[in-house]
């Protein structure tokens, strides 16, 4: 807290300065001037919280100085000192709402009491002012992002709060989340004010929303402001995103939605904390389906090749951060379900320690809870490692793998034992015997198992009609599909979809 002491009598000033324990009062800086004119100049430059001034001085008396200071420091506390009893001085003190009027000779205990009163006044007034402006700022900031906001009301609130409204500004919404700090309105407002940026700040469940008005001719201030926040909160920052610029406050919700969408980039780049509207966000939607390819790799190549494929595909995903995160997680989930399905068909493979993954609902919850792309990649790679262990222990016939791969890749078509036996150049009898010895089930049961598996995935992940899912899974009719599905799962396809839909 700052105090300005204006006194033309040298010994009086020295006595006050030496007799008061300023630090104990909470006053960190005391400025001095020996006339009202110099006092006014210091007030303009340093914005004191308290002014302790003699009333009668040369060049400019205390009353005139106080009236001028009150114009630009409306919350300043004034204390007048005077050896005169002229009623006009008391009237002047009343006009500027002075805290107290102290007569000379000064009694130090009385001055200390008045100073304590003034310090408490400034603190209380500052707290109330901050609370009021924080309330109004929060009210405006949250109304802007309300999808039902009325444009006229929004502009009225914007102007009443004192935000600039003209073509000479760009407007951005920023989203800030701090790990250890919560509602930090004051500090961020100070950073903005230094740059001449006006802000309205609100607090949401996920962090702070900051609407900033940037002078168009100084639009580079946005980067300076962002960097200032990054530097100040370096150790506590979770993320800071900056939405696209708009030219009217009523369009700020678009900037907000843009900033909110950028938060998803943390999934792709967990080591980064700052994202702007200039980020490249290409997408892989509709371009590839990893499940079929990874299954083929596991059927016909060593797991090391599958791992290489996974590393490549995840880097491809990372370079296309516009791909919806939920879609990526579902791709990961589908990969995991296919991998566990294949593992469960390997003879005598022990997957009991991974029992949580056998429950697809629990598996989806585990996959969907992963915070970033690397975690998802490592989750998939861990399952592939189980194949390395199982293949090291088992002596599987390449013929069985070839048949399984053929079934998987031709699932939507009719499949006969004769067709499969011809594919591997064996008799039907020998192939059936070999397949059951290797897998513990007949070929027909295996085919039905895979068809039901495919149907489950389509029910969970798509809006396809039941007859379309039946055809895609290789069932000859929708009635046969419904009957078979209910017999094996205990539920109709529609009931299963209602219960297990994950997208």
- In degrees to the nearest 10, what's the CA dihedral of 437, 439, 440, 445? -120
Query: Would you call 237 helix, strand, or coil by DSSP?
Result: strand
Per-residue model confidence (pLDDT) at position 363? 81
The encoded tokens of residue 135 equal 């309330």
User: Architecture of 290-500 per CATH?
Assistant: Orthogonal Bundle (1.10)
pLDDT at 389: 62
Per-residue pLDDT of the chain in tens (503 residues, 90 and over written 9): 999 999 999 999 999 999 999 999 999 999 999 999 999 999 998 889 999 999 888 888 888 898 899 888 888 899 988 876 555 555 555 555 676 788 888 899 999 999 999 999 888 877 676 666 778 888 999 999 999 999 999 999 999 999 999 999 999 999 999 865 445 777 888 888 888 899 999 988 888 999 999 998 887 889 999 999 998 888 888 899 999 999 999 999 999 999 999 999 999 998 899 999 988 888 888 777 666 666 666 665 667 788 888 899 899 999 999 888 988 988 888 788 777 766 665 544 444 444 444 566 778 888 888 999 999 999 988 888 876 665 544 445 678 878 887 887 788 889 999 999 999 999 999 999 998 888 888 999 999 988 998 888 778 767 789 998 999 889 999 999 999 999 999 999 999 988 877 55
- Which value, in Å, is the radius of gyration of the alpha carbons in the chain? 37
- Report d(CA 503, CA 463) in Å as an integer: 10
The candidate with the shortest Cα–Cα distance to 188, out of 204, 206, 202, 172, is 202
Residue found by looking up tokens 């585990």 in the block: 366
Answer CATH for 2-125 from 3.40.50.2300, 1.10.645.10, 3.40.50.720, 3.30.470.10? 3.40.50.2300
Helices (runs of H) and strands (runs of E) counted in the chain: 24, 10
In the sheet where 198-204 sits, what is the strand order? 198-204, 207-215, 169-178, 237-242, 274-276
The C-alpha torsion from 359 through 365 and 366 to 367, rounded to 10°, is 110
Q: Where in the chain is the domain with CATH 1.10.10.60?
A: 290-500
Spell 74-90 as b/e; 16+ CB within 10 A means b.
eebbbbbbbeeeeeebb
Beta bridge partners of 79: 52, 100
CATH number of 145-276: 3.30.70.100
Range(s) of the chain covered by CATH 3.40.50.2300: 2-125
**Which residues have C-beta within 8 Å of that of residue 194, sequence separation ≥ 6?**
none
The pLDDT of residue 351:
47
3-state secondary structure of 411: coil
Coil, strand, or helix at residue 283?
coil
CB 181 within 8 A of CB 134: no
Q: Cβ atoms within 10 A of the Cβ of 72, count?
A: 11
Shortest CA distance to 153 belongs to which of 166, 139, 164, 167?
139
Which tokens sit at 202?
């609100």
- At a CB cut-off of 8 Å and minimum separation 6, what does 269 contact? 318, 321
Residue 103 is given by DSSP the state: E
DSSP category for residue 101: E
pLDDT at 393: 45
β strands within 150-217, DSSP E: 169-178, 198-204, 207-215
Residues 403/431, Cβ–Cβ less than 8 Å: yes
CA 1/CA 98 separation, integer angstroms? 18
> What is the reported pTM?
0.59
d(Cα 315, Cα 284) in Å, to the nearest integer? 12
């Amino acid at each position: 807290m700052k105090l300005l002491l204006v006194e033309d009598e040298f010994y009086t000033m020295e006595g006050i300065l030496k007799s008061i324990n300023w630090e104990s009062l909470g006053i960190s800086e005391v400025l001095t001037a020996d006339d009202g004119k110099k006092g006014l100049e210091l007030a303009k430059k340093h914005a004191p919280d308290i002014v302790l001034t003699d009333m009668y001085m040369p060049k400019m008396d205390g009353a005139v100085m106080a009236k001028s200071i009150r114009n630009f420091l409306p919350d300043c506390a004034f204390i007048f000192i005077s050896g005169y009893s002229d009623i006009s001085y008391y009237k002047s003190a009343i006009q500027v709402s002075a805290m107290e009027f102290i007569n000379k000779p000064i009694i130090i205990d009385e001055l200390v009491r008045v100073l304590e009163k003034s310090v408490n006044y400034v603190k209380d007034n500052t707290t109330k002012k901050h609370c009021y402006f924080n309330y109004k700022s929060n009210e405006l900031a949250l109304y802007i992002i309300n999808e039902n906001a009325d444009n006229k009301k929004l502009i009225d609130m914007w102007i009443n709060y004192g935000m600039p409204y003209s073509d000479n500004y760009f407007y951005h919404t920023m989203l800030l989340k701090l790990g250890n700090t919560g509602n930090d309105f004051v500090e961020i407002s100070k950073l903005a004010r230094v740059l001449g940026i006006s802000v309205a700040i609100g607090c949401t469940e996920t962090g702070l929303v900051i609407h900033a008005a940037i002078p168009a001719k100084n639009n580079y201030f946005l980067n300076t402001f962002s960097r200032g926040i990054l530097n100040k909160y370096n150790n506590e920052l979770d993320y800071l995103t900056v939405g696209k610029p708009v030219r009217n406050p009523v369009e700020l919700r678009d900037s907000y939605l843009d900033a909110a969408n950028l938060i998803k980039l943390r999934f792709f780049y967990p080591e980064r904390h700052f994202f702007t509207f200039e980020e490249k966000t290409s997408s892989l939607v509709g371009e590839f389906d990893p499940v079929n390819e990874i299954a083929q790799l596991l059927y016909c190549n060593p797991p090391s090749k599958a791992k290489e494929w996974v590393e490549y595909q995840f880097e491809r995903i990372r370079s296309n951060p516009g791909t919806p995160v939920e879609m990526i997680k579902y791709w990961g989930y589908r990969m995991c379900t296919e991998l566990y399905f294949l593992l469960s068909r390997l003879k005598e493979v022990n997957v009991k320690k991974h029992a949580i993954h056998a429950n697809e609902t629990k598996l989806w919850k585990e996959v969907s809870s992963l915070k970033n792309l690397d975690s998802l990649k490592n989750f998939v790679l861990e399952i592939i490692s189980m194949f390395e262990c199982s293949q090291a222990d088992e002596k599987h016939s390449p013929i069985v793998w070839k048949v399984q791969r053929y079934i998987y890749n031709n699932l939507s078509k009719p499949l006969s034992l004769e067709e499969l036996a011809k594919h591997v150049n064996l008799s039907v009898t020998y192939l059936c015997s070999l397949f059951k010895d290797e897998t513990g089930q007949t070929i027909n049961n295996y085919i039905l198992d895979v068809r039901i598996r495919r149907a489950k995935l389509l029910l969970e992940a798509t809006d396809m009609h039941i007859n379309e899912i039946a055809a895609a899974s290789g069932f000859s009719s929708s009635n046969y599909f419904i009957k078979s599905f209910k017999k094996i799962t205990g539920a109709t396809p529609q009931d299963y979809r209602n219960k297990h839909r994950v997208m």
